[in-house]
Structure 1
Amino acid sequence: MDIVLYALTALLYGGLAVAGWRTHRQTATRPLLESVPAVPAGARAVASVGLSTPGRALMVVALLAHGALLHTTIFPQNAMVFGFAFALSAMFWLGVGIYWIESLFFPLDGLRLLVLPLACVASLLPLAFGGVRVLSYAADPLFKLHFLIANIAYGLFAIAALHAVLMLLVERRLHKMRGTAQQRSAAADGDWLSGWLDTLPPLLTLEKLLFRLIAAGFVLLTLTLLSGILFSEQLIDRALRLDHKTVFAILSWLMFGALLIARKVSGWRGRAALRWVLASFVALLLAYVGSRFVFEVLLHRPVV
């Protein structure tokens, strides 16, 4: 049964990704608004075609298949199996779900073309890296609550990091458009990347979405740390265990908190803020995925 879910999930994600890129390429080869005088000579406008109704329905099926796959592989027969591959798979499952919700309100074709291939690859990773069995506390309600909140938080931050990458690319292109005539011509004519960036909403809209995601993720990350402390106290009679995972999680929490405070107090934005988002996500990734990868794959030791 598991192999059927693996195949179905990868097929749906992969098919939607290929269809999205094909649609984007076809749209890019038929530039719109060529007859509108407001469009500068040599500039290109690419329509944001959005997610079609059948595509939206197929994405729901893919999410359901991926969710069922995660449940059957992480919680087999009242036990629990987990590792860095399962962590990445769950992260991108939630990422696709968050994208699906976002796409109801904003045209985010560029994000879809990025997140679906990543989700396809991540969904197959547990086949290569099986994780470790966790038996002692898998059925504990507090642990399940902690696990659920943590995964939602990491999914939000994963999509926020992809938003930041896209915004850096858009900002770089805008700077080229303001540069020399040669730079403006290269940015306008561009290649597939320029056409891809043209499908995104305005930079200010992306920025608003980014900080909404970070604010929601920060609240859930705070709850993750608090529930982790309570769970650790219940499990080992010690409120906080300062291992590598905890240190990186707290560091990431402090970095995201500082970013939100700077945004609130001084309206911090631009490249520096986006790079801070990516650095904060890397710290979180090291806590959530990196430590498991090192222990399971490099050191061949279980980590809890």
Structure 2
Amino acid sequence: MYTYFFVLAALLYVACGFLPSRQRIVLSAGTALAWLLHGGALWADMIAPGTLRIGFAIVLSATLWVSVAAFWLENRNFSLDGLRVLVLPTAAVAVVLPVLFPGSVVPLEGKSSLFPWHIAIAILAYSTLTIAAFHAMLMAVQESRLHTPSEASKGGWLDVAIERLPALLTMERLLFRLIAFGFGLLTLTVLSGVVFSEQLFGMAFKWDHKTIFTMLSWALFGLLLAGRFWRGWRGKTALRFTLTGFATLLLAYVGSRFVLEVVLHRSLT
């Protein structure tokens, strides 16, 4: 039954993604309703007594669910309408993926009661850095329009959305706030992953593609924050680091699980 909620949430996300920005109340209410439907269906699909359903589609869907919440809250403090047209259509695609790719069921028996918290922290880390990546893409467009304004596209819906964004320096401060928070969550994910690695794989630490990509992403975001603090990195350097770190993190779990589940038809956790 929750399949219908996934589909309904996707339709609402699409509608809210492309409605005119002047309908702020409708957009806010529609996004909140879609988010509630998405979350309820995700909870029913992922969690059952004694088990947890895990897969690339479910993790991606959960990541976008939290990202939509972050956008909705952030948009109440700042005018970030340009972010809406990036986040909501992407969430519309992600919300229906668990219907097509259900993943695998992981029994919780014999695992620590803190194991689900490791999954939750990882999803929060992915979500925060996902919204940071969307933020960086929007900043790249904003910066490009400032340096090379296009008269042909002036007045278009994207131009209107870009014009309503906060100043570039404010956007940059928001970006680094998101990255710092996401880096902290990613650090907790890495540390808790070391703790639970023995339960999952029978060894203290497993160096596989998922671990390598996660550590590389962690190093990139850490280097970016260090460069910001010590060298004042900003602008295109910050955007490149953000998008590269996000792409690497996406490969760490979602990309590797996609290959295992869809290409190789394996259901290993």
| TM > 0.5 | yes
Q: Which residue of 2 aligns with 1:130?
A: 102
2:211 pairs with 240, 246, 255, which one?
246
Deviation at 1:95, TM superposition (A): 0.5
Once residues 235 and 94 of structure 1 are traced to their aligned partners in structure 2, the CA distance between those partners, rounded to angstroms, is 26
Q: Which residue of 2 aligns with 1:2?
A: 2
Q: Which residue of 2 aligns with 1:14?
A: 14
Q: Which residues in structure 2 correspond to 1:1-304 (within 5 Å)?
A: 1-19=1-19, 23-24=20-21, 49=22, 51-52=24-25, 54-136=26-108, 140-177=112-149, 185-186=151-152, 189=154, 191-304=156-269
Once residues 95 and 303 of structure 1 are traced to their aligned partners in structure 2, the CA distance between those partners, rounded to angstroms, is 27
Task: Indicate if the aligned counterparts of 1:9 and 1:123 stay in contact, CA closer than 8 A.
Answer: yes
1:108-161 deviation line (CA, Å, top 9, x unaligned): 111012111111111011111121222255964221110110101100000000
Which TM-score applies when normalising by structure 1? 0.83
1:68-117 deviation line (CA, Å, top 9, x unaligned): 11111112343222211112111110110001110121011110121111
Structure 1 alignment gaps of length 5 or more:
25-48, 178-182
RMSD of aligned C-alpha atoms?
2.0
1:183-208 deviation line (CA, Å, top 9, x unaligned): 6x457x36443233223221111111
Amino acid at match of 1:223: L
1:193-228 deviation line (CA, Å, top 9, x unaligned): 323322322111111111000000000000011111
Once residues 137 and 275 of structure 1 are traced to their aligned partners in structure 2, the CA distance between those partners, rounded to angstroms, is 43
Give the secondary structure class of the aligned counterpart of 1:81: strand
Deviation at 1:4, TM superposition (A): 2.8
Which TM-score applies when normalising by structure 2? 0.93
Structure 2 alignment gaps of length 5 or more:
none
Amino acid at match of 1:175: H
The aligned length equals 269
Structure with greater Cα Rg: 1
Once residues 138 and 205 of structure 1 are traced to their aligned partners in structure 2, the CA distance between those partners, rounded to angstroms, is 48
Once residues 276 and 98 of structure 1 are traced to their aligned partners in structure 2, the CA distance between those partners, rounded to angstroms, is 21
Once residues 56 and 294 of structure 1 are traced to their aligned partners in structure 2, the CA distance between those partners, rounded to angstroms, is 36
Give identity over the alignment, percent: 48
Task: Indicate if the aligned counterparts of 2:63 and 2:123 stay in contact, CA closer than 8 A.
Answer: yes
Task: Indicate if the aligned counterparts of 1:81 and 1:134 stay in contact, CA closer than 8 A.
Answer: yes
Task: Indicate if the aligned counterparts of 2:50 and 2:109 stay in contact, CA closer than 8 A.
Answer: no
Query: How has the CA–CA distance of structure 1 residues 119 and 299 changed in structure 2, closer, same or farther, with 3 Å as cutoff?
Result: same
Give the secondary structure class of the aligned counterpart of 1:133: strand
Q: Compare 1-10 and 147-156 and name the one that shifted more.
A: 1-10
Give the secondary structure class of the aligned counterpart of 2:189: helix
